[in-house]
Amino acid sequence: MTEIIKLPIPSAKLAANARCSRFTKAAITKRHRASAAMFAFQQIDKHPMASYKLVFFWPDKIRRDKRNAAERCKAFEDGIADYLGQDDSEWEFGGVEFGEVDKEDPRVEFHFTTIAEASEQVDELTELRKDKARLDWLMNHAGGVVINLDDNFLTRQEIDEAMEANKP
């Protein structure tokens, strides 16, 4: 299941090239981190996350740099990690997207993939890779005859056993 946390656009003073004192930046970072934990508490259940991506909905059409936009969200990321009790270094970063312009509700959304959902996707991918290997083996060893696996001409287990028996 994908969990979405909606947060306001982070302050431009959180960018690396922002021109403000370190004290100002530290205070803004602290406020952003605390507010992200509060928003996370209000919007999602507490369970481990595997990955996330950022989706920005800016108030105007001004061109922005995706890398700088992501960098401004680090305090938010830390606040969400605080709420979840999970180290944010364990999360896979899925990149940044810019959504439609939203003048009424400019925001950034964290789209999290839960660990349960990620493991289901890995299981599906693993099974697809096995099916491809089975089909490749059948094409090479069955004289190019395609066998319909759904009609139980040969089960996956029977193909796997034949593959094991014919390994060099």
Q: What is the DSSP letter of 152?
A: T
pLDDT at 45: 86
pLDDT at 153: 59
For position 125, what pLDDT does the model report? 73
In the predicted model, residues of the chain with pLDDT beneath 50 are 144
The pLDDT tens digits of the residues spanning 130-140 come to: 777 777 767 67
Query: In which order are the strands placed within the sheet that holds 2-7?
Result: 2-7, 107-114, 49-57, 92-98
User: Alpha-carbon distance 56 to 69, whole Å?
Assistant: 8
Sign of torsion over alpha carbons 88, 94, 98, 104: negative
List, in sequence order, every residue forming a beta bridge with 3; answer none if it has no partner. 112
pLDDT for 16: 86
Give tens-digit pLDDT for 40-50: 999 988 888 88
Q: 3-state class of 94 per DSSP?
A: strand
